[in-house]
Chain A
Amino acid sequence: MKISSMFSRRFAPILFLTVLVPSVHGASNSAARVRAFASLPDWSGVWLSAAWPLEVSGRVPGGEAQLKEMLQLIRPPPYNATWQARYDEAMKDTAALAARSATFKACTRSFPALMEGPWVFQVVVLPEETLLVFESNQVRHVYTDGRAHPPDDEIWPTRLGDSVGRWEGDTLIIDTIARKQEPVAPRAWASTLSERAHFTERLRMIDPSQLEDRLTIEDPIALAHPWHITLTFKRVAGVNRAIEYDCAENDRNPVVDGKLVITPP
């Protein structure tokens, strides 16, 4: 074996790792990207829906009454006559409703319910996209690089839908379609809309401690007119990072004989 060959075999990987890899990973942002980033608002921090000022118990201070007052997406949508009739019919079976409600459990939510859920989130603003990263391990990707939604033959309904966005000053305009119509369960906020529902959000910081999300929902199949909702998020005190929420880690509340119970540790 020639010395030069041995040298190559022995040291080529080291040469690659020490010279080539850093040159790739050390690539600087382009001046254009730096300028784009510098023009974007700073929404760093940890945020939580104003409807969920949770206590150590995992409940809100005012219990059910407070939630009914604060949560907006649980209110009846402005259905058209056909969908309203179905809704009214479903309201009659109070026994079934009570049973479903008593055993309700949830670790994730679909959009837009996720925006009014009990989990903290962070907003990562980049030139190409804004990410809303939730404690529930769900992420909304809002692409702001000018792309359109996928064409009809490349899109299908999902729980969070497909979102694209654009900036108007310090306001992020988010356009979401293809939201999956799920089998509805208690607290499945606004899930009972058709898969033609179209969501437009205007997300902005109204002061250093609050974000505001003006949401308009249009649905030519289910709604009589657009549904306007304003959601507010509060900067969370006392935490400087997102904390893992692994719902399966130690779930001691199984449903037994139609009721939630507590199991031993």
Chain B
Amino acid sequence: MTTPKALLGVAALLVALQATAHHSGAMFDDRKSLTLIGTVKTFQWTNPHCWIQVLAPGPQGPVEWSVEMGSPSQLIRGGWKPRSLKVGESIRITIHPMRDGSNGGLYMSATRADGTPIAVPVTNGSVAAASGNPQ
């Protein structure tokens, strides 16, 4: 038996459908972008999200930022690898910051300190070579 309560969720879809695969993106401010220039403290290659911990200069010394990315499966498709970043490496990374002002955000783009890309997305042309699939 369906109740009005059960119907609430469907209605919610029309109110604020979020765009991330695992959870609502409401905590990130899509209207803002913030670029951090710092060093990699850790690179977590984990599910459901990979994370880059970045140490960026702050008014009273280095501040640690948590940058959320997609899952390893999504990163692989984007050309990333588990060792794409090294601890201590300089990085320039742009994020959608947290709405609550905490030191975190959603990954938008990143380059190494000299401006070179960290990863090159795989293309359709590489599929056959990678998989041996005749199609």
Flag if B8 contacts A74 (CB, 8 Å): no
Flag if A86 contacts B8 (CB, 8 Å): no
Instruction: Report the bound CA distance from A94 to B13 in whole Å.
Output: 11
Instruction: Report the bound CA distance from A244 to B86 in whole Å.
Output: 23
A76-101 toward B: CB 8 Å interface, digit per residue (1/0)?
Answer: 10000001001101110110111011
A158 at the interface (CB under 8 A from B): no
Residues in B neighbouring A181, C-beta threshold 8 A: 2, 6
Within 8 A of A (CB), among B48-70: 48-49, 51, 53, 64, 66, 68-70
Flag if B14 contacts A91 (CB, 8 Å): yes
Q: Which of A59, A100, A187, A249 has the most CB of B within 10 A?
A: A59
Given the known interface contacts A240-B131, A261-B100, the answer about A57 and B18 at a Cβ–Cβ threshold of 8 Å is: no
Flag if A86 contacts B131 (CB, 8 Å): no
B44 at the interface (CB under 8 A from A): yes
Q: How many A-B residue pairs have CB under 8 A?
A: 248
Flag if B70 contacts A57 (CB, 8 Å): yes
Residues in A neighbouring B100, C-beta threshold 8 A: 259, 261
Flag if B122 contacts A238 (CB, 8 Å): yes
Residues in A neighbouring B130, C-beta threshold 8 A: 238-240
Shortest Cβ distance from B131 into A: residue: A240
Shortest Cβ distance from A90 into B: residue: B7
Given the known interface contacts A185-B9, A186-B17, the answer about A54 and B74 at a Cβ–Cβ threshold of 8 Å is: yes
A235 at the interface (CB under 8 A from B): yes
Instruction: With both chains docked as a complex, state the minimum distance between the C-beta of A68 and any C-beta of chain B, in angstroms.
Output: 6
Flag if B8 contacts A90 (CB, 8 Å): yes
Q: Which of B19, B23, B69, B76 has the most CB of A within 10 A?
A: B19
Within 8 A of A (CB), among B15-31: 15-27, 30
Contact residue among A42, A59, A94, A238 (Cβ-Cβ distance under 8 Å from B123): A238
Chain A at the B interface: SS class:
loop
Instruction: With both chains docked as a complex, state the minimum distance between the C-beta of A43 and any C-beta of chain B, in angstroms.
Output: 10
Flag if B18 contacts A259 (CB, 8 Å): no
Flag if B7 contacts A87 (CB, 8 Å): yes
Flag if B77 contacts A184 (CB, 8 Å): no
Residues in B neighbouring A23, C-beta threshold 8 A: none
A232 at the interface (CB under 8 A from B): no
Q: Which of B8, B66, B79, B104 has the most CB of A within 10 A?
A: B8
Contact residue among B22, B108, B135 (Cβ-Cβ distance under 8 Å from A45): B135
Flag if A265 contacts B66 (CB, 8 Å): yes
Instruction: With both chains docked as a complex, state the minimum distance between the C-beta of B12 and any C-beta of chain A, in angstroms.
Output: 4
Instruction: Report the bound CA distance from A94 to B12 in whole Å.
Output: 8
Flag if B73 contacts A243 (CB, 8 Å): yes
Flag if B7 contacts A240 (CB, 8 Å): no
Instruction: Report the bound CA distance from A118 to B121 in whole Å.
Output: 18
Flag if B127 contacts A235 (CB, 8 Å): yes
Flag if A94 contacts B15 (CB, 8 Å): yes
Residues in B neighbouring A96, C-beta threshold 8 A: 8
The interface stretch among A25-33, A102-110, A160-168 is A102-110
Q: Which residues of B contact A (CB under 8 A)?
A: 2, 4-27, 30, 42, 44, 46-49, 51, 53, 64, 66, 68-80, 98, 100, 102, 104, 106-108, 119, 121-124, 126-127, 130-133, 135
A118-B21, A238-B130 provided; 14 other pairs, C-beta below 8 A? A42-B135, A89-B7, A90-B5, A100-B8, A105-B23, A184-B8, A186-B16, A187-B17, A188-B9, A249-B47, A250-B47, A260-B26, A261-B100, A262-B68
